[in-house]
Structure formats: structure tokens, C-alpha cells
Chains A and B, each alone.
Chain A
Amino acid sequence: MENKIKKVMSAVFDMPVEEINNESSPDTIESWDSLKHMNLVVALEEEFEIEFTLEQIIEMVNYSLIKIIINNLIEI
């Protein structure tokens, strides 16, 4: 799962997979603005066949949080 998330993030932010880590967030990734965040949400939903709530979308502001939220959605 972690690899899948990283792969999606690398496509959305147009950067190498290796550069994505637990600390990756809008503070460390320059292109991660609100519009790119929307793209990220759509791409992750498609990848994992899930749908985020609006609250989750607002919460998922770094790689670790994205992992936790997707984990919760998949387990249910």
C-alpha cells in the first residue's frame, strides 16, 4: 500500500518516488498547493477504489496522515 501511495504522489507532484517520505507535506513539496491537493485526492480514490469524506480530505495534509486515513478506509 505504501508503495502505491508513493507512486500516486510521485505522479501528482511530478517528482521521484524516492524523495517521498513520512515527512512529505505541503511544507516540503513545493508544488503541493490546494489545486494539486484536489488532484491527489482524485488519484488516490481511483487507485484504492475508495471515497474520502470532506473532513478526511482536509485532514490528509502529509504522507503519514494519508497512510492512516487510507488504512482506516480499507479496513472497514
Chain B
Amino acid sequence: MSSMKNLKYSEILKINAELGNTANSNSYNISVLSNVTMNQIKEILEYALRKKKINANVKIGDYDNIVQDSLKYKDSSLVFVFWEICNLIDGLQYKIELFNDNDLNGLFEKAKSEIDLVFKNLPNTSLVIFNKFSSLTFSNSNIRKNNLDRLADKLNQYLEKRIPENVRLVDLEKVIAIVGVENSLDLRYYYSSKALYTVDFFKAYAEYVKPFIMSANGKAKKALIFDCDNTLWKGILGEDGFDNIEMSPKTKDGAIFYEIQNIAISLNKQGILLGLCSKNNPADVDEVINSHPDMQLRNEHITVNKSNWSNKVANLKEITHELNIGLDSLVFVDDSSFEVNLIREQLPEITVLQVPERLYNYPKILRENMGLFYNLSFTAEDRKKIKMYKQQVKRESVKKEFTDIDDYLASLELKMTIHQDDKSIIPRMSQMSQKTNQFNLTTKRYTEGDIKSFITNEKSAIFALSVSDKFGDSGITGLCVLNFDSINKTADIDTFLMSCRIIGRNIEYAFMDYLMNYLNQNKIEKVTSKYVKTLKNEQVKGFYDKCSFSLEKSNNKMKEYTLIIENYKSKNIKYIDINYGK
């Protein structure tokens, strides 16, 4: 799957330079801190991310300066810590076997305190990717555990215990396994320049960590859509019939489709939405979902089902519309080359996987692409979300019966609960800032560490809201960050966002009413705000205008507003009941 694997290093350098020159998005700053020389990771990592439209700029820290650099580069969006165990002290790979217990303990304590310092220096960095220690590079062929192995084990246990919210650990040995120890290392420079790894290793590493960075940039996939015939089961339902399609673990090919369906269910449990898009009689597919004894995917797993005779381009577009997500949030799986090519050509934003001719590779391909769905934070909300999208589909059908939208909204029995500076929902608040693209005025991405500092800082406040109606509870689905300047009696709206699944209910206006009232009670007289344009937030470009803010400055990237709170015109929405969380 890796597109880089077949590219020469010089080609990567060349294309990367071109991508850098033509990039028009904001720079995503990455620093790499290491105690070995690894300058080649720079362009390889930049290339891997720029190809995904993340305008990465990588800076390599000074050689063996991890602790000092962790201060120097704390403002990067992402910091890598690449701590090579054999260079904790020069020549450790042979010295350590001669160490006595005292020496060993001293070394362990030194490494521990350095790790603590690095974590301490990077509390507000959005994301820190920290490699676990590995002794593999210098001891992959010894049979007995040696001191280097034991030290790596102990340090890794320590890391697992101490890891802060903004740090993710990478299992370096898995990356080495992808290319093999032999191909990962180039010892020619180790003794002169302390360079250790090969270009092949860096390519594999960049691919391995890409899902973290995609997720931090709000680019994780959200839904997996399957064709049915020869994709979820073997055979063609319309021709072979209900009794002759295969997906039983007891038959050779059936076992493969059985595994596919179970992989899909495991993704669904992690919050990934599942859907069907197939050319079939809808009633036939429903019958399989409802009553085929071997079918694993049931109605409870399938959020959206487009089994009909329309073309798949139209169906997939409708799916994104119904789920209220972007085309680039979809992964689609089909066995037919015709359909696969059609979608790749017509809807290039969708990631399309084709069922391979060698069917036994099918589960492997799906597994290799799991990284597309990776999410930095995984919360109870994810599990709830699936239920809620289903309720949304139900709501859409209720909507049709009402002519006046206010009547409809009133019939929903909407309740909004406000949570101010609530520590118990930090992961969810961070996740929302990272994943919300459409109803997001400034699209600032915040880690759990960032959110924490809004809570503790007196000059800011963070508000989250949850919404419920007679069909169910949406969970935490809106967020606002306010910064205050109490001397000048002003405030700034740093972040205002809502999950798209609660849009269309005027919740945003009720929320704004609440916030303005809050500011007024806290003696704030003037508030400023911004709309920062992205590819996805077109729908909110007029939001502050509608909230009676006055436009101060405007260009094609940004609109800046102010509002004298006295002049705020409340929307006074009667049908939303407001409660206060703790």
C-alpha cells in the first residue's frame, strides 16, 4: 500500500521540494528530537504528509540534545522523541554488559529523570510521539536476555506508567519488523557520525506514524461502506439466491467473508460508521440482514443502507449527505473493477479498496488500512455516536411531516445542558476540536493538555454542551473557548464549534445566547470573534453576522468581528430547555 516504497530517495527529495513550494495551507511544524543522527527523516516525513495535504515542515533538533530541545521546540504542533537506547551513553551496547548493579541502577535513574524532564517541558505541545526503547538494533541475535534488553524493558514499563495525555508511544520494534533489522540499519556512519537508520527504515516509520498525524489534523476516516455481492459474501444474491450466498466460517471462501464482517464489527465498536452501497433489490438485502443465519452484520451495525439500482456515485454522495460527513471521510470497498474505477475517477476524495483476486489477502488488506480510521482519543462518546446517527436518520423522516420548522423543533423536546470547565470530559472536548471540520469557526485543534490549561487558566473558560431530545441524548456535541481581559472588560471567542449531528436545531443560537448572558453577568462589555476560512467550514461564514456581531475586517481568509454586548440581539428560542451541568 505504501506509495513511498517504490520511490527512490532522490525522487522523494525532488517531489517533496515541489510540494513544499506549491503548498497553500498553513505550515504544520514538526520537530524531531534525537540522540542519534537522523536528518534523512526530514524530507521523507514531509513527503508522506504533504502528499496527504498536510503542509509539514520538519526541523531536526541538535544531536543528543533531547532534554534541552524539548524546551526549545515546545511550540511545535508535533514533537517526535527518538531516544536510542545504545546511545544513552556512548558505546552502551558493549559497556552495559560490563556494568555492575550499581552502574545499572545509576543509568536507569538518569534515563528516568531525563524522561520526566522531557515530559515536563512539553506539557502543552499538541502531540508528542515518543518511541519506545528497543534493544533490537544491537541484540537481535542473542538468545539470552542481556542487560540492554532488560534496561529497554524497564524503561518501557516506566514510560507506560508516566505517559502524559498528549504523548503517544510508538512500538519501534514493529516498524523495524516491517523492513527487517538488516535493512533498517546502516552501521557505516554509526561510529563516526552516530547515524544508524536507513532510508527504508525512515520510509516505513513515516507510514507507521502517519495515522497519528492524520487524526491530529482532523483527517481520520469516519465511515466504511461495503458493496454486498462478493464483498460481504461470496456469490450474487440476485442470481444465486438467499440460500447459496456464502459467509459461513465453515466453508473455504465463506470463512474469509465471515472474517471481513467481523473486522467491520470491531471497527464499528470503535465508533466507525458502517454502511452498504450495492446494486440489489432492497428487500432481498434486508432479508439477508434480518434473517440469514451466517450474516454477522445486522441492522444494529449498519447506519446507512443504499441497496438499490441507482448508480454508486449518487448513492455514495447521498450517504455523505445523510451522515453529514465529507466525501474524504469515507472508505468504500467493492469487488468490481468497474465500480472501483468509477468511484476513483468521479469521487477521488473517497478512499476505495478493491477486493483482491487472491481472496485470502482480503482480510489482510482491510487490516492494513485500519490506520485510516485511527483516532488519537477514543472515548465513550464514540460508542454512543453510532446510536445517535441512527436516531438522526429517524429524525429526518419525522421532519417531513412538519411544514413549519419551528413546530418541528418544538416537537422534539430539546434540552441543552451546559458544562463549564468540566475536567471529566477533557478527552471528548479535545476530540471534538480535532474532529470537527464543518461547523467550526476557527478550526483550532487542541490536545487534552491544551483543554486542561483552558480549564485551569483563570483568563479563559471552556464550555461544552450536550443536547437531548425525545429520541435520545446526543452527548457532548458543542464547544466554546473564551479568553478574558477583565481589565479592559473584553473577551474573545477563541473557538466555537458544534458537531454536525446537532445542526439544524438552532442549538448554536441558544448556546450563543447563553454565552453572551454569561459574559454580561461577568461584567464584560465587548467581545471579539473570528471566522477563519477552511475548505470545509463554508456553512458558518455568516454565523457571526446572524448573531448580530459587526464585521470589522474581512479578506478571503478571515473575517473579524466585534460586538458590544449591550447590543446583542438574543434569538430567544423558547423550545430549547437549558440546564446546567456541574
Contacts and interface: CB of A to CB of B under 8 A. Distances in A.
Contacts of B192: 54
A35 B37 contact: yes
B51 interface: no
A7 B11 CA distance: 10
Interface string A1-17: 00000011011101000
Contact of A14 (B13, B193, B195, B199): B13
Nearest to B20: A14
B195 A38 contact: yes
Nearest to B186: A42
A12 B40 contact: no
A43 B39 contact: no
B365 interface: no
B188 A57 contact: yes
A59 interface: no
B571 interface: no
Nearest to B188: A54
A23 B39 CA distance: 26
B8 A47 contact: yes
Contacts of B193: 34, 38
A43 B193 CA distance: 18
A39 B37 CA distance: 12
A46 interface: yes
A38 B199 CA distance: 11
B180 to A, nearest CB: 17
A46 B9 contact: yes
A11 B39 contact: no
A39 B40 contact: yes
Contact of B40 (A34, A38, A54, A57): A38
B14 A11 contact: yes
Given A35-B37, A38-B193, A39-B40, A8 B188 contact: no
A43 B9 contact: yes
B8 A39 contact: no
A57 B193 CA distance: 13
Interface in A26-41: 34-35, 38-39
B184 to A, nearest CB: 14
Interface string B1-44: 00000001111011001000000000000000000010110000
A42 B9 CA distance: 8
A61 B457 CA distance: 55
A46 B8 contact: yes
Given A39-B13, A46-B8, 11 more contacts: A11-B17, A12-B10, A14-B13, A39-B39, A42-B9, A43-B9, A43-B10, A46-B9, A47-B8, A54-B188, A54-B192
Lowest 9 A-B CB distances belong to which pairs?
A43-B10, A11-B10, A11-B14, A11-B13, A35-B39, A8-B10, A43-B9, A46-B8, A14-B17
24 contacts: A7-B10, A8-B10, A10-B14, A11-B10, A11-B11, A11-B13, A12-B10, A12-B13, A14-B13, A35-B37, A38-B40, A38-B189, A39-B9, A39-B40, A42-B9, A42-B40, A43-B8, A43-B9, A43-B10, A46-B9, A46-B10, A46-B199, A47-B10, A57-B188
Interface of B: 8-11, 13-14, 17, 37, 39-40, 188-189, 192-193, 195, 198-199
Interface of A: 7-8, 10-12, 14, 34-35, 38-39, 42-43, 46-47, 54, 57
